[in-house]
Amino acid sequence: MTPQQHCYLALYLVLVLGLAYPLGHYMAAVFEGRRTWAHVALQPVERVIYRVAGIDPAAEHNWKTYGVAFLAFNALGFVVLYVLLRAQGYLPLNPGDVPGMSPHLAFNSAVSFTTNTNWQAYSGEVAASHLAQMAGFAYQNFVSAAVGIAVLLAVIRGLTRFSTDELGNFWVDTTRCVLYVLLPLSLVLSVFLVSQGVVQTFDASAEVTTLEGTTQDIALGPVASQVAIKQLGTNGGGFFGTNSAHPLENPTPWSNLAEAVAILLIPAALVFMFGRMARRMRHAVVLLVVMTVLFVIAADVATLAEQRGTAVLDDARVLAESGDEQSGGNMEGKEVRFGIGESALWAVATTAASNGSVNSMHDSYTPVGGLMPMAMMSTGEVIFGGVGSGLYGMLMYVLLAVFIAGLMVGRTPEYLGKKVEAREMKAVMVAFLGFSLVLLVSVAIGAATDRGVQHVHNAGPHGFSEILYAFASGSANNGSAFAGLAVNNPFYDTLIGVGILVGRYLFVVAALVIAGSMVQKKLVASGPGTLPLDGPLFGILLTAVILILGLLTFFPAFALGPIVEQFAMNDGGTY
């Protein structure tokens, strides 16, 4: 990496962590019911919502009631969005006369946005009306992020409360998340993005004259409002097909920096919120350090791989024989206004955070550069991760690390003053093994069947990488893609949609089972064998567990794809 790229990465982390600290404390106050500066304007609105919806804010749920409310709310959201996408051709706010989506595409898109995945097998400017973008996709960007945070709140209460079965109120948590956190942040970011040139209009398109003297229609729409929440809510679904590489979604280096910071802002803030609510800030800092270190390593490797480029030319091997590197690095698929450093950093951030938005085409990365986003997703996206889902996934890794440490010293493992027993470990392993099984089986089906292979546009290991990336993105609820794979067809829409559902709800159910079990336990006194959670030893153990469980499980698949492609490229081969 160049000194400039190191400085940019340092600035990025300073902005993310510097803004996340006060935001995390603010969010802890909101969800603990303490009064904040925002209550003056928003608390009356909150009360009206409860009155209209018939919600008793004082009532609390056990884990089963909380889970049923979560699943019912998501199921209703899926049905409404599916119907909207199928019927958009007959509905208002459709200046481009966009027809309704096909059944398989509407299913895939509705599942994707309801689960905070935002995998897009379509181009938004030609396949979705303004109504579908705003009332469908943008709405789900808010509520899918809010329910993820709500589940995290239930898990935190399960770990910190004792001798009870109350985990909070799902409806209250979701309402407060949208009202006090997501809406204010989105408003601020939207206004800033408009100032940078991101469009916000109800017009369908604008006719412009090109430099050659011909005319061209430029697609327009309510873009800035959707871009803000897609980044802050780690949703990632772009208004345009090229997502944040499009100059009307992300026009300047300043908009690029702001959107990139927004991707990790709330996931990082949730770690500080957890430390505040659990009264274990030093432990939370250890979790944040582990996330940051793994993130920096991946960003450095991806940037270095793209900066070195490849010695292989289109039809010659002159540079390969001389050992020289690609002049200027690998700029294929990247926007000149961002360059290699900002593109590679975004690629790692968006896959670390379950965001899925892109400002460059990952399919054009070098094999090692493309491997880093795959690695981020294969951990279950806990290195910052999606809003809510990333941290409760990380807490599952924490429980597993604590359990392993307890076995090594021959005593019952403890976490936050409670014993970690068989029921919690079964839930953890069901989540991780289920995720791995669905991902790898789906990849095998895609790579071994004619219907899967016929949609792959590249041969050899790169074609396999496209299939692997697609199913990793779906199962990890990320949404980004190696664009060389054609996915708008019944085979991939259905199979990836199933992976999206399993990847989201298997982890949610496991997290709520753990919360419901832990909240009923009594506190036990710490002893000489209790593992300290706020030191470097635990950080190293947790990192090892993430690398072994999250990455080695997928090493054979990586070896068949990007790793063997890198060796082939070093020998002059391309795919």
The DSSP line for 384-420 is TTSTTHHHHHHHHHHHHHHHHHHHHHTS--EETTEE-
Number of separate domains in the chain: 1
Within-domain flag for 119: yes
**pTM, two decimal places:** 0.94
Cα separation values, 12 from 19, 257, 267, 339, 468, Å: 11, 8, 15, 16, 29
Is pLDDT at 116 greater than 70 in this prediction?
A: yes
Is pLDDT at 327 greater than 70 in this prediction?
A: no
What is the mean pLDDT of the segment spanning 552-561?
93
How far, in Å, CA of 471 to CA of 478, rounded? 10
- One-letter amino acid for residue 74 of the chain: N
Within-domain flag for 94: yes
For residue 145, give its domain range: 3-279
Is pLDDT at 309 greater than 50 in this prediction?
A: yes
Residue tagged 């469908």 (tokens): 136
DSSP collapsed to 3 states, 222-285:
EHHHHHHHHHHCCCCCCCCCCHHHCCCCCCCHHHHHHHHHHHHHHHHHHHHHHHHHHCCHHHHH
> By the 8 A CB rule, do 445 and 474 touch?
no
Is pLDDT at 524 greater than 50 in this prediction?
A: yes
Within-domain flag for 168: yes
Provide the 10 A C-beta neighbour count for residue 204.
17
Query: In the prediction, which pLDDT does 320 show?
Result: 43
DSSP three-state, residue 533: coil
β-strands 414-415, 418-419 pairing: antiparallel
> By the 8 A CB rule, do 10 and 258 touch?
no
Count the alpha carbons within 13 Å of 419 in the hemisphere toward its beta carbon. 11
Could you report the per-residue pLDDT of 355-369, keeping only the tens digit for each?
Answer: 999 999 999 999 999
Cα separation values, 424 from 434, 455, 519, 521, Å: 15, 41, 12, 12
In this structure, is the dihedral angle defined by the CA atoms of residues 461, 462, 466 and 468, taken in order, positive or negative?
A: positive
Within-domain flag for 122: yes
Is pLDDT at 316 greater than 70 in this prediction?
A: no
Query: In the prediction, which pLDDT does 319 show?
Result: 46
Within-domain flag for 398: no
Q: And the tokens for 422?
A: 């068989």
Within-domain flag for 248: yes
How far, in Å, CA of 86 to CA of 36, rounded? 42
Query: In the prediction, which pLDDT does 317 show?
Result: 43
How far, in Å, CA of 116 to CA of 71, rounded? 14
How far, in Å, CA of 444 to CA of 18, rounded? 43
| Angle, CA 198 vertex, CA 195 and CA 201 arms, to 5° | 105
User: Confidence class of residue 488 from pLDDT cuts 50, 70 and 90?
Assistant: confident
How far, in Å, CA of 429 to CA of 400, rounded? 9
Q: And the tokens for 28?
A: 């802890």
DSSP three-state, residue 328: coil
User: Confidence class of residue 318 from pLDDT cuts 50, 70 and 90?
Assistant: very low
Query: In the prediction, which pLDDT does 113 show?
Result: 95
> By the 8 A CB rule, do 302 and 341 touch?
no
How far, in Å, CA of 569 to CA of 574, rounded? 6
DSSP three-state, residue 60: coil
How far, in Å, CA of 474 to CA of 352, rounded? 14
User: Confidence class of residue 264 from pLDDT cuts 50, 70 and 90?
Assistant: very high
% of the chain at pLDDT higher than 90: 81
Residue 259's φ and ψ, nearest 5 degrees, are -70, -40
Angle formed by the axes of helices 281-308 and 339-352, to 10°?
A: 140
Could you report the per-residue pLDDT of 416-428, keeping only the tens digit for each?
Answer: 999 999 999 999 9
Query: In the prediction, which pLDDT does 44 show?
Result: 96
Q: And the tokens for 190?
A: 């939207």
What is the mean pLDDT of the segment spanning 329-340?
91
- One-letter amino acid for residue 39 of the chain: H
Query: In the prediction, which pLDDT does 573 show?
Result: 76
Could you report the per-residue pLDDT of 75-111, keeping only the tens digit for each?
Answer: 999 999 999 999 999 999 999 899 999 999 999 999 9
Residue tagged 């239930």 (tokens): 154
The alpha carbon of 72 is separated from its chain's Cα centroid by a whole number of angstroms, namely: 22
> By the 8 A CB rule, do 357 and 230 touch?
yes
What is the mean pLDDT of the segment spanning 256-279?
97
Q: And the tokens for 477?
A: 């609820």
> By the 8 A CB rule, do 255 and 193 touch?
yes
% of the chain at pLDDT higher than 70: 97
Q: For the chain, give the number of residues.
A: 575
Q: And the tokens for 183?
A: 């809406």
DSSP readout, 474-516? Answer: HHTT-----TTB---SHHHHHHHHHHHHHHHHHHHHHHHHHHH
Q: Is residue 301 within a helix (H) or strand (E), and if so which, with residue range? A: helix 281-308
> By the 8 A CB rule, do 353 and 386 touch?
yes
Residue tagged 């791995």 (tokens): 436
Could you report the per-residue pLDDT of 172-184, keeping only the tens digit for each?
Answer: 999 999 999 999 9
What is the mean pLDDT of the segment spanning 363-388?
93
Cα separation values, 309 from 103, 243, 304, 326, Å: 41, 24, 8, 5
Residue 566's φ and ψ, nearest 5 degrees, are -65, -45
Within-domain flag for 357: no
Provide the 10 A C-beta neighbour count for residue 394.
27
Query: In the prediction, which pLDDT does 315 show?
Result: 43
Is pLDDT at 326 greater than 70 in this prediction?
A: no
DSSP three-state, residue 219: strand
What integer best gives the mean pLDDT of the chain?
92
Among 176, 173, 154, which residue's Cα sits nearest to residue 165?
Answer: 154
Q: And the tokens for 528?
A: 């000489």
Is pLDDT at 567 greater than 60 in this prediction?
A: yes
Is pLDDT at 414 greater than 80 in this prediction?
A: yes
Angle formed by the axes of helices 422-448 and 490-518, to 10°?
A: 170
How far, in Å, CA of 248 to CA of 253, rounded? 13
Within-domain flag for 140: yes
Residue tagged 């889902």 (tokens): 389
